[in-house]
Structure 1
Amino acid sequence: MSKHVKATIFLIILGLVVMGITSLIKPWFSEWEQKTTSDARITKGKISIAVDDWVGYFPLCSPHIKSRLRQEGYRLNCINDKADYAQRMKGLAKGKLDFAVATVDAYVLTGSETNYPGTIINVIDESKGGDALVAREDTLASLDELKAKNNIRIAFTPDSPSDHLLKALSVHFDIPHLRQRGNWAVTAEGSAQALEKLLEGDVDAAVLWEPHVSKALKEDGIIRILGSDQTAQLIVDVLLVNRELSKDQPEKVKLFLQAYYQTQKYYRDNPKQLQKDLKKTLRLDDDEISTVLDGVRWISLADNARIWFGTHAQGYANETLINTIEGTIGILREYGYVTHNPLPGEDPYRITNSQFVASLFDQFSQQGQLDQVSQSTVALDFKALTDKQWDRLVDVGTLKVRPVVFSSGTDQLTLEGKEQLDRAAENLKHYPRFRIEVRGHTSTRGDKDANLRLSQERADAVRRYLLITHAIAEHRIRAKGFGGTKPLAKRSGESSRAYYYRLPRVELVLVGENF
């Protein structure tokens, strides 16, 4: 081959290489040119977060936080996955997402498949009326009626906060048939469809979220059985961060969380702007906006640090987030959704990270910018009631209490009896707005006056134990003995011996003033 031919081939190959390199570089160069000749030159990158339509998540993707992050050089990419938790966890695990939102129960359940790819760095909000069990009054008037009637059909959205509310009620109030998805369970694709099934008469009750709760209660004959406004630490929303991001780029994480808290405070100081932005985003009218806002309680930085994470607790170190995680696992285990604690090492601290909240709390405190407004559940001031006022209260439901054991023929609580009351007290923490009536019962046999006296003494003993050991407010709880005047109904096929064994008991009944 001549030198001329070789040179020609070389030039052709060189040209092809140059063309190839140019084709590869040109898009990059074009993008570089666009960035350097526009305001995009100050952009440091983007932040991706997975959310859904729950109003509590609004500040995380609001116009205000997007503006704040743009000033810091970041574009916020909010991905509405319609509460597809499985996909959300995969995105977090693969690094496609920087942040994600979830309820505590949803993360405990769905995070296990991807080895819990995020840590909880912030408690966003707690549902306070945003979710509720409603029913036709002529069919269902209380949780105790739901316990007695296993033919009540209930519409609900699976794997949603409403579903978790049902699980909690079935466990805390001992409603066994709700733990099996039988004929009672009518699934719906969202709260709107569940409400539709209730209004059309397909079901007797429904678990809804706002604004559908309020829409249901406007209908004649439909009442609220129990709502999240009367609970605590049950439906809690949290912010998750990708583990690698928190390790490799902690300043980016801190920046986002700081922008969130500043946005939260901005909307708290400018409620009309919050309503305006919500109205534009959710496309609801003014009344509906007010309703959905009433159903959510956003958690401030101060309460995250002092109450939920306990990094800056005043006095006794609260760790409400850890208590909520453990309580959620307890509900899921007793319900039958999990057979064991699914967390890594069965350790709730493995899915929480308090360093960002603690750091921001210190920073804002030093700068005098800390928002001291508490969004936590304030302990209610239960005023003293007369016996007539107590008698006018309506039963909400009988709390699950395994037989409280006394020494034979006395009002002396045994160690086992105290342990049962300790478990009941843990459940009572979820229902802080209700008063408690301790009801003592005995067998129908024997001297009626003696039975009545013994039942009162045992009810008094239980009340004393809860007052002293668990600091229940004095005027929140009353003890009343019934002797053998209100015996349990005999179960089908139950022997007389087993029946009489069940009769002596102490019940903890939640009672309310607006039921």
Structure 2
Amino acid sequence: MSRLRRGQVKIKTGPIVLLLTIGLAIVVTSVTPRVKEYLRTRKKESEVEGTSATGELKKALRIAGDPWSGYYIFRSEKFRSQLMASKVRYTYKEELDLAKRFEGLAKGEVDIAVTTIDGYTVNGTKSDYPGVITWVIDESYGGDAIVGSEKVQTLDDLDALPDLPRIAFAEGYPSEHLLNAMMTQFKKKVKPVPVASSKAALDLLKTGKVDAAVVWEPETTNAQKEVKGCRVLISTRDMVEFIVDVAVVSRKLVAQDPDLVEEALRAYFATLKYYQKDPARMTEAIAQDAGVPMETAQKIQQGIRFVNLPDNAFRWFGVGGPDASEKVSRIVQETIEIQRAQSRLTANPLKDPFSIVNRTILERAMKGEEGPLAKKFTTPVKSPEPTPEKPVAYRELTPDEWERSEKVGTLDVAPIYFSPGSSELAKDDRDFIDDVAKKISPYPRLRLRVIGHSSPGGDAKASAALSEERARVVAEYLGKAHGLTKARVQVLGKGGMAPLPRKPNEPTRGYQARCQRVEFILVSLD
């Protein structure tokens, strides 16, 4: 008998060999079909890659969005062909849930999410803002609106309803932000009625279940046709830089492959330029993409203002010299303020709005417009100079034109009171008027009616003159301190003809002081 070394155990090997042989046979029998299938599949893929354009596409780009016509460029074959020219494989995924869209960025399943700024600020919190705003796609110009029923012809009519007004809106869409802004800037108390879509909001208005609805095209046009007495109360045509669509790029992609991000940006703007050269082609493409008639597609197109490459750099991101302006971070901050005012955000989620903004890709693109990267594209990407930003020119209106102007709503501002018989502004009053200037800044297409009031009683003629003088003093301060042109402002004095309701047991002196006030009403000539 042989001796075993320390730690060795004598084992009979025959049974083990037999067991291993049987086990191996079982494994081979079960795995072989899978292995064969894998090899066949891989061989087929290799053949496809070797004999088609698939093998030439070295990178992949995944974009998530929704059916909004402003995102059509990303769905177009022209955009896809631009990327293929740069050997980039491309997919566009529709994801209606914004939070999931941004979760895709965080998980590395999406490279670019297209969204509105308000959509990102409120829904990006759940995934800790996994992307950066890299370029502006478009700005809504009348595409989104609040429309009222026959009994609601102005925003102030909402206050006159016997019950809390019900307003339908598409939850999670820019409609919600427009409604929040209206409630904040005009201090309206309403009962929001969340629905799934713009069409669903219009359906509730048509059946009389709500007093107003927040909609977008084509429902904005359809509402005025299909609902008796329906009127647009306010729309993004009256506003600027409010509902802004942007491309949010994965932070990881920006850090690891900025060339791919720049290629995507260049492909996008080359495609946009292709369509902007022929607006009729764009209308036809939108009609086909949205499945609507050409007339409706034209309305949709009129409600979208696309932003080209130079304007992105010079007007929105502050790239291009000392005269360039940076707007994106300001809009982010203003958006968050509105969302906090309506409790959509409980606190400011961003210490610095620039933390979700990236300028470097635009800087690279602008510096390299004639460089080797630009030459990869079939359509030259070089764009004209930035579009000059012209201030709105207000012509003088006749008294009849002012009379015909349509009331939009009364701004929510701190009351400006005057001492009895005085039209002199106190320092606190100037601070309140500064707030007025801030609140009207999003509405450059609307005019301002400044109305002075005095307490009831006394000489009617003298009261009217004093109240008009008070309104004039306020309007002049707006002009000197904030550049409001005279042609934009109508000054009126109502004297004691429109006193405030008196509170129960309110002392006479306090009531009369409260009636000596100035109010601010936005009006439209459309």
> TM-score, with normalisation over the residues of structure 2?
0.87
The alignment yields a C-alpha RMSD, in angstroms, of 2.9
Q: Is the 8 A contact 2:287 2:296 kept in 1?
A: no
Q: 1:354 corresponds to which residue?
A: 359
Taking structure 1 as reference, are residues 2 and 477 closer, same or farther at Cα in structure 2, changes over 3 Å only? closer
Aligned residues: 503
What's the CA shift for 1:54? 1.0
- The aligned counterpart of 2:453 is 441
Q: Which amino acid aligns with 2:453?
A: H
Paired with 2:370 and 2:417, the residues of 1 have a C-alpha distance of 51
| SS state at 2:336 partner | helix
Equivalent in 140, 154, 171 of residue 142 of structure 1: 154
Compared with structure 1, are the counterparts of its residues 445 and 134 closer, same or farther at alpha carbon in structure 2 (3 Å cutoff)?
Answer: same
CA 110–497 in structure 1, closer or farther in 2 if over 3 Å, else same:
farther
The answer (yes or no) to whether the contact 2:186–2:410 under 8 Å persists in 1 is yes
C-alpha spacing 1:157/1:260, structure 2 compared with 1 (3 Å): same
Offset of 1:290 from its aligned partner? 0.8
Q: Please state how far the C-alpha of 1:272 moved relative to its aligned partner.
A: 2.8
What is the aligned partner in structure 2 of residue 466 from structure 1?
478
User: Which SS does the other structure have where 2:320 is aligned?
Assistant: coil
Q: Deviations 1:183-220 (Å, cap 9, x if unpaired)?
A: x4333221112212222222232111101111111234
Letter in 2 for 1:109: V
Distance 1:476 1:119 in 2: 38
Shift of 1:390: 2.1
Do residues 300 (structure 1) and 292 (structure 2) align?
no
- Whether 1:284 and 2:292 are equivalent positions in the alignment is yes
Which of 203, 213, 228 matches 1:206?
213
Q: Quote the Cα distance in structure 2 between the aligned partners of 1:140 and 1:375.
A: 38
Q: Within 5 A, what are the aligned runs for 1:469-488?
A: 469-488=481-500
Note closer, same or farther for the CA distance 1:71–1:437 as it changes in structure 2 (3 Å cut).
Answer: same
Larger Rg: 2
Aligned residues of 2:418 and 2:516 also touching (Cα < 8 A): no
Asked if 1:341 is matched to 2:348, the reply is: yes
Match of 1:413 among 422, 425, 436: 425
Q: Secondary structure at the match of 1:244?
A: helix
What is the CA-CA distance between 1:42 and the residue it aligns to? 0.6
Q: Please tell me whether residue 88 in structure 1 is matched to residue 96 in structure 2.
A: no
Unaligned runs of 5+ in 1: 179-183
Q: Does 1:111 align with 2:124?
A: yes
1:222-277 Cα shifts (integer Å, max 9, x gaps):
21111111111221111100001001100000100110011110000122322332
Deviation at residue 476 of structure 1 after TM alignment: 0.9
| Secondary structure of the corresponding residue to residue 108 of structure 1 | helix
For 1:139-173, what per-residue CA distance to the aligned partner results, in whole angstroms no more than 9, with x for missing partners?
01111112333543322212221121111111111
Tell me which residue corresponds to 1:181.
none
Report 1:6-45 matches (<5 A): 27-45=41-59
Question: 249-258 or 462-471, which moves further after superposition?
Answer: 462-471
Q: CA deviation at 1:53?
A: 1.3
Task: Provide TM-score, normalisation by structure 1.
Answer: 0.89
Does structure 2 conserve the Cα–Cα contact (< 8 Å) formed by 1:443 and 1:503? yes
Q: Which moved more, 1:252-261 or 1:211-220?
A: 211-220
Aligned to 2:237, the other structure's residue is in SS state helix
The offset of 1:478, in angstroms, is 2.5
One-letter code aligned to 2:280: K
Amino acid at match of 2:261: V
The alignment status of 1:324 with 2:336, answered yes or no, reads no
Q: Which AA in structure 2 matches 1:359?
A: R
How much has 1:25 moved relative to structure 2? 6.1
Determine which of 277, 281, 296 is the counterpart of 1:273: 281
Q: Does 1:241 align with 2:249?
A: yes
After superposition, the Cα gap between the structure-2 partners of 1:313 and 1:141, relative to the gap in structure 1 and judged at 3 Å, is: farther
Match of 1:404 in 2: 416
Are positions 1:52 and 2:66 aligned together? yes
Q: Contact 2:217–2:299 at 8 Å: present in 1 too?
A: yes
Aligned to 2:266: 258
Name stretches of at least 5 consecutive residues in structure 2 with no aligned partner: 1-11, 375-379
Pair 1:284–1:476, CA change in 2 (3 A)? same
Look up the equivalent residue of 2:200 and give its one-letter code. Q
Cα distance in 2, alignment partners of residues 81 and 126 from structure 1: 21
Moved more, 352-361 or 87-96: 352-361
Q: Report Cα offsets for 1:455-500 as digits up to 9, x if no partner.
A: 2222122212211221223311122222222222345786756543
Q: Is the 8 A contact 2:447 2:488 kept in 1?
A: yes
In the TM superposition, what is the alpha-carbon distance from 1:104 to its structure 2 partner? 1.1
With over 3 angstroms needed to count, the CA separation of the structure-2 counterparts of 1:313 and 1:208, relative to structure 1, is farther
Contact 2:417 2:513 in 1 (8 A): no
- Is the alpha carbon distance of 1:10 and 1:60 closer, same or farther for their aligned partners in structure 2, counting shifts above 3 Å? same
Q: Relative to structure 1, is the Cα distance of residues 495 and 100 closer, same or farther in structure 2, using a 3 angstrom cutoff?
A: farther
Identity of paired residues, percent? 34
Range 51-60 or range 276-285, more displaced:
276-285
Alignment of 1:492-507 (within 5 A): 499-507=511-519
User: Which structure 2 residues correspond to residues 365-380 of structure 1 after superposition, within 5 A?
Assistant: 370-372=382-384, 378-380=390-392
